[in-house]
Amino acid sequence: MDSVDPRRTATAAKSAETRRLVVEDGAADRLDRYLARRLGFSRSRCADLILAQRVRVDSDLAKKSVSVSEGQVIEVEIPPPEPLDAEPEDIPLDVVFEDEAFLVLNKAAGLVVHPAPGHRSGTLVNALLHHVQDLSGIGGKLRPGIVHRLDRYTSGLMLVAKGDDAHVALSDSIRKREVRRIYRAVSWGHLPETPVTVDAPVGRDPKDRMKMAVVEGGRRAVTRLRVRESWEAAEYLEKAARGLPQRARIHYNLGLLLQLLGRDSEAEKELLAALRIEPDNIDFLYAAADHYLKRGRLGEAKRMAETMIEKHPSNRLGQDLLGFINNRIQE
């Protein structure tokens, strides 16, 4: 009789959870958006739950497009996460910090993060399945808390969430660039100048789909490097903290200044330039919404407020702003 690892089956055997929500005052919204904000799930995950007939509004099966209003009662059946197709393995981990919510580990060079063709075992995921007692189930699948990745031959610190709440919070912080990541490397030879900026499109290598390369039509990638130490035949490099986020902040600050000077059209161009670089930044979204609101462009202001709610469901700022805009529209 085959033996089964209790850590794996205990999580997979969890029963479905039913959440009961009462729509609060001023929280009227489309059902999928409301659920995403209250449950901390993605809108696509909430839409899947609705399509699977796991959501009821006032005891009736709901449709994704329905809107909910104050006082309505929503019941959501959240199925247990699907088992992960990976086995726990007792692989030593270099854990530098750990508490009940997350851990920080030092990934060794050569260690693959996720199982993939050619690497079905011996990965970081296999090690975490053995180490972590209760896995994150974000997205409906068991995942041992991976919120960001490092390439196989890159060593360095990684954050790992141990539960759903930590997974949502860490992913949100990384998306909003509240977590600063620094990359360092040693290269042969010397740069002609420092810092140096590499601005090139990156995509799958057409000759080797397992690798990334600079390719025409790829996604724009901007990297700024500076020399930390210069040695006789090599240099110790660091990916500079300044780059696109800082450029976005420059556009944002310039836009606010131009608003004060009454140069509205120029201010709008700068605020939208900041959003093109960081489309999820809540400060940039709020500034654009406020810009439109003050100029009576309520439809565009509402769109910005709705984006704030979608991208930052746990932040009340977007909801309060949307309520104010809706009141203006109804006047």
Per-residue CA distances from 175 to 101, 148, 212, 278, 286 (Å): 19, 10, 22, 9, 17
Main-chain dihedrals φ then ψ at residue 207, nearest 5 degrees = -90, -20
Residues in contact with 173: Cβ distance below 8 Å, sequence separation at least 6, in sequence order: 179
Residues in contact with 126: Cβ distance below 8 Å, sequence separation at least 6, in sequence order: 86, 87, 88, 89, 91, 115
Query: Which residue from 162, 168, 106 is spatially nearest to 132, judged by alpha carbons?
Result: 162
134 annotated active-site: no
Q: What DSSP letter does each residue of 304-329 carry, written as one string?
A: HHHHHHHH-TT-HHHHHHHHHHHHHH
Catalytic position from the list 151, 165, 199, 264: 151
Q: Are 134 and 163 in contact (CB under 8 A)?
A: yes
Burial (CB < 10 A; 0-12, 13-18, 19+), residue 325, is buried
Query: Which residue from 323, 294, 283 is spatially nearest to 306, judged by alpha carbons?
Result: 323
Catalytic residue ranges: 151
